[in-house]
Amino acid sequence: MSLLSTQLSVSAKGEVTLPEALLRELDLKPGTKMFASVRGNRLIIQPLNAAYFTSLRGLLGHSEFNIEAVREGKAEELTLEEAKLRRHTDPR
């Protein structure tokens, strides 16, 4: 994966448009669910796609992830479980 950096702007509606290069690099398609979090002064936006859930494999005590749950729009439920786990394991 290459390092891509770009300046973005927030519209009056609170929307951010991602440049085509970022969309291609992350294989983002229309309708891809995203998870946003704030760490210090950084905004982290994580696509909730197969690559993301593959990276979590084993972290939640399961050897497999349920990509169908993501496709069915249940990604939010899965990220809530991740947040619960983080609260129990994050030393902050």
What average pLDDT score do residues 14-40 get? 90
Looking up tokens 């509606």, which residue turns up? Answer: 13
Q: What is the mean pLDDT of the segment spanning 47-74? A: 65
Residue 61: pLDDT above 80?
Answer: no
Interatomic CA distance for residues 75 and 85, integer angstroms: 15
As a whole number of angstroms, the distance between CA 28 and CA 18 comes to 10
Lowest mean pLDDT among 1-15, 24-38, 40-54, 73-87: 73-87
Which CA distances in Å does 32 have to 45, 85, 91? Answer: 12, 23, 31
pTM for this model (two decimals): 0.53
pLDDT at residue 8, rounded to an integer? 93
Instruction: For residue 24, give the amino acid letter.
Output: R
Mean pLDDT score, 34-49: 89
Q: Is the pLDDT of residue 31 over 70?
A: yes
52 or 22, greater pLDDT: 22
